[in-house]
Amino acid sequence: MTRDQDGRSTRWDDHRAARRAELVNAARKAVHRHGPGVSMDDIAAAAGTSKSIVYRYFADKAGLRLAVATAVVGDMHDALVRAAADAPTPLGGLRAMVRVYLEMIEHSPRVYWFVTRTSIAGVEPEPDDLPGGEAPLAAYLDSVIEIVARPFAELAGVPDDVAAAWAAGAVGHVRGAGEWWLGHREAGTTTLTREELTEHVTLWLWRGPVGVLHPTDHATNHLPTHATTHATTQGIRR
């Protein structure tokens, strides 16, 4: 292959990658507008192109869903890393991460459900099955467990595997509480605000497992109402 051919190949690869990114962004906007059951026609319309063009870049809807999931969980991971890094204390970090997660799923519930393939209070259509579609979400959850576990292993002075087990439970608790709140908020069956839930979840996690792991920490007896954090987020971008 000549140098000119190499250059053309590189330019084509760059163009294809850029076009895929544009289509993923268009898909996120279409999901935000139409919900998890969005059609490929809706996605193509949002991208200002035809469905046949979309299929040039993604073999099927499952492939496009996987690309959207990868982008969304990447954004969530980066936001949580910033929240943890900016917090001055483990307590502040925990509260900041809970807040960021709830902010992001509230910003675009439909995109969140599209990625996690969960119906909103039983009223949204279940998205099509996606073989291997849990991979980005599973990798995201594993990385978040590591982020959460690290400061608590140092704080409580426990082995890494004990801290990781607690962190896995904490992540599952936050996700479960967040999805419950999101579904019931959509259905109008809860009056809890996002900030109230942030405070409750942080309190439950901090005074519960952390109090057991580190009972001499007097901070466990008092949870500041306004923990300081510099974390910012634009939510699940649409």
Q: What share of the chain is helix, strand, coil (3-state, %, to 5)?
A: 75, 0, 25
One-letter amino acid of 34: H
* Residue-level pLDDT at 232: 40
* Residue-level pLDDT at 152: 80
Place of tokens 């990868």: 70
Q: Do the beta carbons of residue 198 and residue 98 sit within 8 Å?
A: yes
CATH number, domain 16-58: 1.10.10.60
Q: Do the beta carbons of residue 182 and residue 112 sit within 8 Å?
A: yes
* Residue-level pLDDT at 47: 95
For residue 61, give every residue at least 6 positions away whose Cβ sits within 8 Å of its Cβ, in sequence order, or none.
40, 128
Domain ranges of the chain: 16-58, 68-118+132-211
d(CA 61, CA 113): 15
Nearest to 217 by CA among 152, 159, 130, 144: 152
Instruction: Enter the tokens of residue 83.
Output: 């929240």
pTM for the model stands at 0.77
pLDDT in tens, 48-106: 999 999 999 998 998 999 999 999 999 999 999 999 999 999 899 999 999 999 999 99
Q: Do the beta carbons of residue 214 and residue 157 sit within 8 Å?
A: yes
Q: What percent of the chain has pLDDT over 90?
A: 54
Q: What is the mean pLDDT of the chain?
A: 82
Map 121-187 to HEC letters. Answer: CCCCCCCCCCCCCCHHHHHHHHHHHHHHHHHHHHHHCCCHHHHHHHHHHHHHHHHHHHHHHHHHHHH
* Residue-level pLDDT at 225: 44
Is it the case that residue 215 has pLDDT exceeding 90?
no
pLDDT in tens, 165-179: 999 999 999 999 999
pLDDT in tens, 127-163: 444 444 457 778 888 889 998 888 888 788 889 899 9
Q: How confident is the model at residue 207 (pLDDT cuts 50, 70, 90)?
A: confident
CATH number, domain 68-118+132-211: 1.10.357.10
Is it the case that residue 32 has pLDDT exceeding 80?
yes
One-letter amino acid of 107: H
